[in-house]
Amino acid sequence: MTSAAVLVAAGSGERLGADRPKAFVVVGGRPMWEWSLAALAAAEIDRVVTVVPPGTELPGGVAGGDTRSESVRNGLQALPREVDRVVVHDAARPLVTPDLFARCLSELEAGADAAIAAARVTDTVKEAGEDRVVVRTHDRSRLWSIQTPQAFRRAVLERALAQPDAVVRAATDDAMLVEALGGRVVVVESSPANFKVTTPHDLEVAELLLGRPAGGRG
Ligand code: C5P
pLDDT digits (tens, 9 = 90+) for 63-101: 999 999 999 999 999 999 999 999 999 999 999 999 999
d(CA 45, CA 80): 14
Q: In whole angstroms, what is the distance from residue 88 CA to residue 166 CA?
A: 21
What proportions of the chain, in percent to the nearest 5, are helix, strand and coil?
35, 25, 40
Question: What is the Cα–Cα distance from 51 to 123, expressed in whole angstroms?
Answer: 33
Fold for 3-113+148-185+195-216, please state it. Spore Coat Polysaccharide Biosynthesis Protein SpsA; Chain A (3.90.550)
Q: What is the mean pLDDT of residues 146-150?
A: 98
In short, whether 56's Cβ falls inside 6 Å of ligand 1 is no
Rounded to the nearest whole angstrom, what is the distance from the C-alpha of residue 133 to the centroid of ligand 1? Answer: 32
Nearest atom, ligand 1, residue 10 CA: 20
**Do the beta carbons of residue 11 and residue 66 sit within 8 Å?**
no
Instruction: Give mean pLDDT, residues 114-137.
Output: 98
Residue 133 sits at the vertex; the CA angle it makes with 122 and 136, to the nearest 5 degrees, is 45
pLDDT at 133 exceeding the cut of 70: yes
What's the pLDDT tens digit per position in 27-58?
A: 999 999 999 999 999 999 989 999 999 988 88
Pocket test for ligand 1, best of 90, 93, 176 (most atoms within 8 A of CB): 90
pLDDT of res. 59: 83
What single DSSP character describes residue 89? E
Cα 152 to Cα 176: distance, rounded to the nearest angstrom: 12
Domain ranges of the chain: 3-113+148-185+195-216
187 lines ligand 1 (CB under 6 A): no
User: In the chain, which residue ranges form alpha helices assigned H by DSSP?
Assistant: 32-42, 68-77, 98-109, 154-161, 165-170, 174-179, 200-210
**Nearest atom (ligand 1) to Cα of 66:** 21
Does the reported pTM lie above 0.85?
yes
Give the pLDDT band of residue 216 (cuts 50, 70, 90).
low
Q: How far is the CA of 161 from the centre of ligand 1 (A)?
A: 16
In the reported structure, the alpha carbon of residue 73 is separated from the centroid of ligand 1 by a whole-number distance in angstroms of: 13
